[in-house]
Amino acid sequence: QANPLQPRGIINPESLQELVDSIREQGILEPLVIARTPAGYQIIAGERRWRAARILGLEKVPVTIKETTPQGMLEMSIVENVQREDLNPIERALAYKKLIDEFGLGTNEVARKVGKSAPTVSNTMRLLSLPDAIKDALVAGVITEGHVRPLISLGESKLMLELFKKILRENSTVRQTEDMARQVKGEVQKKEPYRVTRDRLYIPELDDMARSIEVMHGFNKVTIYQTGSQAKIVMVAKGDAELTAAKIKEIYKILTGSDASEEITTVSDVTAGLENQSESEVKTTVG
């Protein structure tokens, strides 16, 4: 069976046909890696080879059986695809996010498991904050990852889409895109270095930071406020008491560098009073 946790969402028909032709001539040179699950044997690595074998009508393929967990299956699938560069940037970002959301790993843990630096993992996950039209173009290969990174720095979807259209229209290089993004940011800051809503300063970079926190740590909404005398971060995590308690512990670990369990005896200590609530709002004030 195919792995339901397979990080690759799209298998290119042309590359699959090339693999079919290769296997027809040379056979399968590298065994598939599979794992035994309650639902049967599932593929960890080698789904393209398996699909090609089915097209050729092969009844048997060489396999290596691994004893692992669902988390281990996902980790191995990601590592195998990343090493082969088989995932597009959005698939990589979604795979990293799945490790964080479903298995509670931190960015540093994900980076260590997939053999990438923590900044690389964080920057890849920031691609998920792009408007859908730009993500689709990136997946289709219309533009490159180098083109979209400067767009993310603009913060606002409207600005991203306007510059995206200009890139396509003018067939801009990555360097030209970086220059144009800097120019757009400069014009915005010149027109509006900051806005004040009551006593709140609005600084574009803060929204960019908030979106990064949402993507990297799975919060439903993050807002960063700055006034003349203080800064405030509001993080909203929706869900039952158990889920929101886990988010509170995650914040604690990020801020203190230690496990919340060392200070909090049980989850019930954290969730007291939350049993009948469907949403928790966590506020951190600095200054």
Is residue 13 over pLDDT 80? Answer: no
Domain ranges of the chain: 13-87, 128-192, 219-286
What pairs with residue 151 in β-bridges? Answer: none
Would you call 30 a catalytic residue per the annotation? Answer: no
Give residue-wise pLDDT tens across range 192-246: 555 544 455 656 677 777 777 777 777 777 878 777 667 888 888 777 777 778 7
Please tell me the distance from the alpha carbon of residue 241 to that of residue 248, in angstroms, as a whole number. Answer: 10
Architecture per CATH, domain 13-87, reads as Alpha-Beta Complex (3.90)
The active-site residue out of 25, 30, 47, 279 is 47
Task: Please compute, for residue 10, the number of CA atoms within 13 A of its CA located in the half-sphere on the CB side.
Answer: 14
Could you report the per-residue pLDDT of 48-105, keeping only the tens digit for each? 888 889 899 988 889 888 877 777 777 777 777 666 666 788 988 888 888 888 777 7
- Do 153 and 126 contact (CB within 8 A), yes or no? no
Q: Please write down the HEC assignment for all residues of 118-161.
A: HHHHHHHHHHHHCCHHHHHHHHHCCCCHHHHHHHHCCCCHHHHH
Q: Are 147 and 174 in contact (CB under 8 A)?
A: yes
